[in-house]
Amino acid sequence: MILIQAPFLNLQAILDGLMIGAIFALVAYGMALAWGVMNIINIAQGEFVILGGYITFMVYKLGFSPFFGAPLSFAFLFILGFLLYKLIVHRVVDRDMFISILATFGISIMIRQIMNLIFGSQVETALTGLGTIFLFDHNITIALVKFSSFVIAVAGALGVIYFMKTSKLGRAIRATAQNPRAARILGVDTEKVYAYTYAINAAICGLAGSLVVMTYTIHPYMGLPYTVRSFMIVIVAGLGNIPGVLASGLGLGALEELSAYAFGTEYRIGLVFLFLVIILVYRSKKLAKRREYLK
Amino acid sequence: MTNILEVNNVSKFFGGVRANEEISLNIKKGSIVSLIGPNGSGKTTLFNSIVGTHPIDSGSIKFEEKELSKMLVHEIPPLGLLRTFQQTKIYGQMSCMMNMKISKKVSNSYKRMFDKLPKELDDEAEQILSFVGLYEKRHLRAGELSFGQQKLLELAMALMNEPKMLMLDEPTAGINPTLINGIIDRLIKINDKYKITLFVIEHNMRVVMNLAQHVFCMAHGKMLADGKPEEIKNNKLVIDAYLGAS
Amino acid sequence: MISDKKELIGFLILLFFGIFAPIIAPSYRVQFSELWIFMVFASTWNVQGGKMGYNTFGNIIFFGLGMYVCASTQIAFAFNLSDWTAAGGYKTFVHSIPDYFISLPIGLLFAGIVSTAVALVLGSFMLILRGHYFAIGTLGLGIAAGEFATTVDIWGGGMGMTVPVWPKIDGQDLELFFGVGMDFFFYLTFILFLFTFFTLKWLYSTRFGLILTAIRDNEDKAEAMGIPTMRYKVTGWLFSAFFMGLAGGLFGNINGYIEPTEVAFNGATFGVYMVLMTILGGKGTLWGPIIGAILFQLFKEFFWTYFLGWQLVALGFLIVIIVVFFPEGIMGWLRERRPEWFGEIIDKKARLAQVKININD
């Protein structure tokens, strides 16, 4: 089988996978944040990523290096996330989770279609002009842009984690995640916390998107796979398990690359969704042995 | 007098917590038995263990000679064993009458699952609701009932299912004290007239004294003592357990 | 349900349009056919989403599958399927009149059967999932189905395939008693809707219907009362799958061509429509999905005509508005205003009545 016969190709796939996995992990961390603090599953997660990509793409189109787009994407999505919270999301936070799923689904459709109208439906990428390094006698190629996006993604994740641990807002967010009622009683403005959490999540996605457009491609309809990937990562790792989320993100990236390599790239997206189902069913069956179910 | 329920060395651990440790008890058919013990002693866990809400870690549970510990939750009520919940579980958006009608014990075979609900079911439901005092509220949505009223509805639903044995988790908690005598009377009647064995978790000692023929006391996950109500009332271990000395 | 007289009026209105629409509004035949299909979408989604409380994004799978199976059967009846797809479909092969009218019902039958069989398999593990896990899991399945369909070459892969075209005599469309192809399928879809409506009406009147709502209200309690919930959950999905399969088969024929992600397994439009329509009309009721489908089709035609280009943005916006402000839908709003129409007796006396236990009973 192909996987066994070509060790370098496998290694290549794994390396590429880890590098893109860092981006997945970043997006998953954002989703875990929104989910853990506000108990909403943000279906628009992927659309935030793609939108972030388009912002950076526009920067690139204006003649600048896409790397300057990263902070811009971050800031733009932060503001957008904040606005969306104040306009729509705050109305669904306390309700049935399906309501929040549907509401964010509606938001995702709107963003997706607006992007389609503004940017068109062709696939885009932003060139960074970074080269490639070759290892093992040209058997392994590492695109420097992929490597740098890996570094930025990891740095971004660590940055947000550090912010969460040390800043006043970060601690307020963590307190609210553990017990919103208690936090409220102790004087934490939960509405503010929720708004900033959603905004930070959007910003993280924006940053991830800028990395995606640099290293791969974007397209208005490519959002949902990112949403699904982050959902998968969160349920595999568990909501509060940050190192787990990061590790699972990397793992998923590697798994995806290997599968795309083994089965063919046209199956890639389908496989992502299939993995989701497999993970869910596997987890459920394991819990069912203890006569429990996924809550 | 045969034993309708035999619990033998049942243990259940949650992580490091020994919720049930080597619990053994037997309940005679047709009796009224009470399970008491301070909060956290593992009473509800034992109930959950018996009816299959979670698997047990060791031991055996026999209901009328049938082993329950490997069965799934929905396989146990057809055998004639039902339980009610401490935090009431009812069908909130459906009316009390519908709650009752769906509780009737019927076949779930593919042939029978599409049967229409017979008219006689209404009469039976009304009769039982009247028995527990909920007749006037029978058309209200179950979710609109107060906590205590929901407890009565749960009891009524259980009776509708014609059980041989009923496990009640704090049936009088949340009930208006003026009604408790009525409830005690009802429970005695259920046992006496319909020959339903009762296994009741209770915190209200007055209820225990007036209702139970035999009492089991748990503490810290273990069976502490058992005997007639009067004996248990004066048992030093039991008193210490409640007052927190042990 | 609303009182029988109101239901009868509503039904007669539907029946009127179901019989006369191709005559009084022939240019809207396709929209009406779509409306009947939407009613089937919403009514079947309601079995899981409204009555049972299991929000599914996966019912589209049965629609798409039915579409492909029906068309494949119709084609394979007279020709070789891969030849058809490779050579451009009906441009190269034309069904004879007997072939067309025999293969169609067989195709529909297979569509229903295959969809139901797939639901049986999928349900056996998907219906173990609950709440948002079920929702997102079925979303994943629905999209995966579309993605994998693009790799099936015999179905035309990503390009899709055409369906058999309405037979012609001497270059003119064959005219039956009630009209030509579009009229024929209008009536077929209306009949499908009637079939679905009466089956579900019957289903809800049985114990099965009550168990669905019991599962929605408290699945743990239902199990604790001895109900083997899995059996009911899966059987419910079989009903939905069957009608969705038939709907898919008919829709493929109306649309003229089948494309995997845009037509057959379009989770982003059809998959969402069925949820939206049911919520808009009022989930959990028999008529809610129907009212929702009518309103939605009106909105859709309005948006597509006046907001062309922005219609999907408007759709997303509509979802947000409905979900945030009208989650109970039209029927829910009606229920607040006129509870007696729903058999709910708001007896002030009952509300205030104390529990009375007569010790002498």
Is the CB of residue B91 less than 8 Å from the CB of residue B99?
A: yes
> In this complex, is the C-beta atom of C128 within 8 Å of any C-beta atom belonging to chain A?
yes
Interchain CB distance below 8 Å, B73 and C224:
yes
Q: Which of C210, C229, C345 sits opposite B98 (nearest CB)?
A: C210
Q: Closest chain A residue to C56 measured between Cα atoms?
A: A98
Interchain CB distance below 8 Å, C319 and A105:
yes
Report the pLDDT averaged over residues B220-232: 92
Residues of A in contact with B93 (CB under 8 A): none
> In this complex, is the C-beta atom of C361 within 8 Å of any C-beta atom belonging to chain B?
yes
Tally of residues, chain B: 246
CA atoms within 13 A on the CB side of A103: 25
Please tell me the predicted confidence (pLDDT) of residue C344.
63
- Identify the H or E element spanning C229: helix C229-255
Enumerate helices (H) and strands (E) in chain B, giving the number of each.
8, 10
- Identify the H or E element spanning A146: helix A144-166
Residues of B in contact with C218 (CB under 8 A): 89-92
Residues of C in contact with A117 (CB under 8 A): 309-310, 313
Tokens matching residue B158:
């259980």
Evaluate whether the domain defined by B3-243 bears CATH number 3.40.50.300.
Answer: yes
Tally of residues, chain A: 295
Q: Closest chain A residue to C219 measured between Cα atoms?
A: A293
Give the 3-state secondary structure percentages of chain C, helix then strand then coil, rounded to 5: 75, 5, 20
> In this complex, is the C-beta atom of B120 within 8 Å of any C-beta atom belonging to chain C?
no
Q: Closest chain C residue to B139 measured between Cα atoms?
A: C345
Q: Which of B77, B117, B135 sits opposite C207 (nearest CB)?
A: B117
Please tell me the predicted confidence (pLDDT) of residue A5.
62
d(Cα B140, Cα C345) in Å, to the nearest integer? 7
Interchain CB distance below 8 Å, C231 and B113:
yes
- B positions 75-104 inside 8 Å of C (CB): 75-78, 82-83, 85, 89-95, 98, 101-103
Give the range of the structural domain holding residue A165, as residue numbers without chain letter: 2-289
Residues of B in contact with C206 (CB under 8 A): 113-117
d(Cα C249, Cα C34) in Å, to the nearest integer? 13
CA atoms within 13 A on the CB side of B202: 25
pTM, 2 dp: 0.92
Residue-wise over C297-328: b if at least 16 C-beta within 10 A, else e? Answer: bebbeebbeeeeebbbbbbbbbbbebbbeebe
The shortest C-alpha distance from B103 to chain C (Å) reads 7
Tokens matching residue C131:
């709440």
* Dihedral sign for Cα atoms in the order A92, A98, A101, A105: negative
> In this complex, is the C-beta atom of B19 within 8 Å of any C-beta atom belonging to chain C?
no
Q: Measuring CA to CA, how many Å separate C66 from each of C246, C271, C346?
A: 6, 15, 45
- A positions 68-107 inside 8 Å of C (CB): 88, 91-92, 95, 97-99, 101-103, 105-107
Residues of A in contact with B72 (CB under 8 A): 291
C-alpha closest to that of A27 among A149, A110, A141: A149
Please tell me the predicted confidence (pLDDT) of residue C2.
44
Residues of C in contact with B144 (CB under 8 A): 351
Q: What pLDDT digit, counting tens, does each position of C137-158 carry?
A: 999 999 999 999 999 989 988 8
List, for chain A, all residue ranges whose pLDDT scores fall below the cut of 50: none
> In this complex, is the C-beta atom of C279 within 8 Å of any C-beta atom belonging to chain A?
yes
Q: State yes or no: pLDDT of B245 exceeds 60.
A: no
- Number of independent structural domains in chain A: 1
> Chain centroid to CA C302: how far?
21
Is the CB of residue C98 less than 8 Å from the CB of residue C294?
A: no
Is the CB of residue B160 less than 8 Å from the CB of residue B98?
A: no
Unique residue bearing structure tokens 């993605």: C147
Flag whether A294 is in a domain.
Answer: no
Interchain CB distance below 8 Å, C136 and A92:
no
Strand order in the sheet with B165-169: B81-83, B165-169, B197-201, B32-36, B214-219, B222-227
The CB density around residue B242, as the number of other CB atoms within 10 Å, is: 18
DSSP string, B106-149: ---STTTTTPBPPTHHHHHHHHHHHHHT-GGGTTSBGGGS-HHH
Please tell me the predicted confidence (pLDDT) of residue A242.
87
Percent of chain B scored above 70 by pLDDT? Answer: 99
Q: Closest chain C residue to A231 measured between Cα atoms?
A: C136
Tokens matching residue A259:
């599968």
CATH no. for residue A147?
A: 1.10.3470
Q: Closest chain A residue to C145 measured between Cα atoms?
A: A270
The shortest C-alpha distance from C69 to chain B (Å) reads 28
The shortest C-alpha distance from B14 to chain C (Å) reads 20
Tokens matching residue C67:
């579409």
Tokens matching residue A97:
């989770």
Is the CB of residue C53 less than 8 Å from the CB of residue C267?
A: no
Is the CB of residue C359 less than 8 Å from the CB of residue B182?
A: yes
Ranges of each domain in chain B = 3-243
Interchain CB distance below 8 Å, B53 and A291:
yes
- B positions 187-246 inside 8 Å of C (CB): none
Q: Which of C130, C147, C272 sits opposite A105 (nearest CB)?
A: C272
Please tell me the predicted confidence (pLDDT) of residue C346.
61
* Dihedral sign for Cα atoms in the order C74, C77, C83, C87: negative
Residues of B in contact with A289 (CB under 8 A): 55
List, for chain C, all residue ranges whose pLDDT scores fall below the cut of 50: 1-2
- B positions 129-148 inside 8 Å of C (CB): 130-141, 144, 148
Please tell me the predicted confidence (pLDDT) of residue B246.
46
C-alpha closest to that of A202 among A88, A68, A33, A86: A33
Helices (H), chain B: 43-51, 96-101, 120-132, 147-160, 177-194, 205-211, 229-233, 236-243
> In this complex, is the C-beta atom of C207 within 8 Å of any C-beta atom belonging to chain B?
yes
Is the CB of residue C253 less than 8 Å from the CB of residue C73?
A: no
Q: Mutating which of A35, A239, A284 best tests the C interface, going by the most C Cβ atoms within 10 A?
A: A284
Contacts of C330 (CB under 8 A, 6+ apart): C280, C281, C282, C288, C291, C292, C295
Residues of B in contact with A291 (CB under 8 A): 52-55, 72-73
Amino acid at A86: K
> In this complex, is the C-beta atom of B177 within 8 Å of any C-beta atom belonging to chain C?
no
Interchain CB distance below 8 Å, C210 and B136:
no
Phi, psi of B84 (to 5 degrees): -110, 165
Residues of C in contact with A290 (CB under 8 A): none
Is the CB of residue B94 less than 8 Å from the CB of residue C214?
A: yes
Interchain CB distance below 8 Å, A281 and C125:
yes
Is the CB of residue C62 less than 8 Å from the CB of residue C120?
A: no
Interchain CB distance below 8 Å, A290 and B54:
yes
Q: State yes or no: pLDDT of B244 exceeds 80.
A: no
Q: Which long-range contacts link A232-235 to residues 24+ away (Cβ below 8 Å)?
A: A232/A275, A232/A276, A232/A279, A233/A24, A233/A25, A233/A28, A233/A31, A234/A28, A234/A31, A234/A32, A234/A35, A235/A279, A235/A280, A235/A283, A235/A294, A235/C133
Neighbours of chain A (3+ CB pairs under 8 A): B, C
DSSP string, B234-245: T-HHHHHHHHT-
Q: Closest chain C residue to A39 measured between Cα atoms?
A: C132
The larger pLDDT score, comparing residue B178 to residue B188, is at B188
Interchain CB distance below 8 Å, A266 and C151:
yes
